Amino acid sequence: MPIDAGMFGAMAKQFEKSHKNCPKTWTQPVNDADGKTEEQNAQWWLQHGERGRSSETMFGYLHDSRIKITNMECHPFDPDDFRRCYLLLKAVPQWKQKLHLLKPTSNVWANLVDNWDTLTEMLETALNSKEQKAPEMYDFMKKLGC
């Protein structure tokens, strides 16, 4: 059914307005990484993880078999992209110590890796805030070249 883009946008806004107070019925799955091997955690992320090109780039560089699941080498461009990379490391915590493997990919990745803990702290602060927005983090990421 072809539908005018403006009409579709209006329908989406009305849906959001009508359902803004509805209880959540779905939550993002979370990996219980404790006691699992790096490979088990990586496979869990492949099956259940929230993915984007930057997190897929990370997977390709940090997975021992160097599986390339994207043909692009992207870095996170904004806090939401970084959040997906953050979730990858939550799912596969063994890879936190391997982040340095991303540094040769690009100057931006090198800057991100060097500032990973700061970015993580900024993201977690934003996620725990009422608005769940991260304008300071976005500005900081721009300074890093994102």
Q: Where are the domains of the chain?
A: 36-143
Per this entry, what is the length of the chain? 146
Q: What pLDDT was estimated at residue 49?
A: 93
- For residue 100, count CB atoms less than 10 angstroms from its CB and return exposed for 0-12, middle for 13-18, buried for 19 or more: exposed
- Sorting pLDDT into bands at 50, 70 and 90, what band is 80? very high
Residue 1 has pLDDT above 80, yes or no: no
Q: Please provide the average confidence, as pLDDT, over all residues in the chain.
A: 90
Q: How far apart are CA 76 and CA 78, in angstroms?
A: 6
Q: What is the pLDDT of residues 18-73, one digit of tens each?
A: 988 888 787 777 888 889 999 999 999 999 999 999 999 999 999 976 666 666 77
Q: What pLDDT was estimated at residue 7?
A: 87
Q: b/e string for 43-56 if b means 16 or more Cβ within 10 A?
A: bbbbeebebbbbbb
Q: Estimate to the nearest angstrom the gap between the alpha carbon of 67 and the chain centroid.
A: 18
Report pTM: 0.80
Q: How far apart are CA 124 and CA 19, in angstroms?
A: 27
